[in-house]
């Protein structure tokens, strides 16, 4: 079973994702990505650590072989896909880059597709927390635009493959798998 929770920052996605994962009753593995490069980020990471249940295994999803550390019979909580993808893109694209080449775009998309494909193929319960990006202005940097594009495609693929999916806004979960998928002209 695949469950996806998407939405803006601080909307309650992580709490809802953790509740879903715990409800499976299976051993829990939390895949995280984040770098403790400054004090503020260290505090954010510590808050997430404090919220995890005792006994939950944690894997660093910034490592190339992180998926091999996830037992096939455990519930996997990915928290969050945006951090995973963002960290990978940060390594691919220097922050001073004025242009992102097609080869980098392809490499970024391949990496993301590989993660999404693996998550979708898992047989054990998997909960993915992800960021819904691109609701604002076009990012002013090549890295920001690449992140927006790759995440948008990843979220579409995940929600399409998911058994359940919610948009989490202001602590409220909206079941987006139950909403209309097609646009139709209104009849009067």
**Cis ω on the peptide bond leading into residue 80 (within 30° of 0)?**
yes
Q: How far apart are the first and last CA of the chain?
A: 40
Sign of CA dihedral 71, 116, 150, 175: negative
Residue tagged active-site, from 15, 22, 26, 48: 48
Write down the H helix ranges in 33-141.
39-51, 81-92, 102-121
Nearest CA among 27, 139, 144, 122 for reference residue 74: 27
Q: Is 88 a catalytic residue?
A: no
Chain position carrying tokens 């994962």 = 21
Nearest CA among 170, 27, 31 for reference residue 87: 31
Pair of tokens at residue 185: 């002209």
Pair of tokens at residue 182: 């097609």
d(CA 88, CA 33): 10
Pair of tokens at residue 71: 């037992």
Q: Which residues are catalytic?
A: 48
């Amino acid at each position: 079973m695949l469950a996806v929770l998407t939405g803006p920052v601080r909307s309650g996605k992580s709490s809802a994702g953790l509740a879903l994962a715990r409800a499976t009753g299976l051993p829990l593995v939390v895949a995280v990505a984040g770098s403790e490069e400054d004090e503020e980020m260290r505090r954010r990471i510590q808050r997430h650590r404090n919220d995890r249940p005792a006994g939950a295994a944690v894997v660093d999803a910034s490592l190339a072989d992180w998926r091999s550390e996830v037992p096939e019979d455990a519930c996997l909580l990915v928290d969050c896909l945006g951090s995973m993808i963002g960290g990978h893109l940060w390594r691919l694209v220097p922050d001073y880059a004025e242009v992102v080449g097609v080869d980098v775009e392809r490499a970024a998309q391949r990496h993301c597709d590989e993660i999404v494909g693996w998550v979708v193929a898992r047989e054990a319960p998997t909960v993915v927390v992800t960021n819904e990006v691109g609701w604002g202005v076009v990012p002013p940097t090549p890295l920001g635009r690449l992140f927006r594009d790759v995440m948008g495609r990843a979220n579409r693929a995940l929600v399409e493959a998911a058994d359940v999916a919610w948009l989490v806004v202001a602590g409220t979960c909206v079941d987006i798998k139950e909403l209309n998928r097609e646009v139709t002209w209104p009849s009067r």
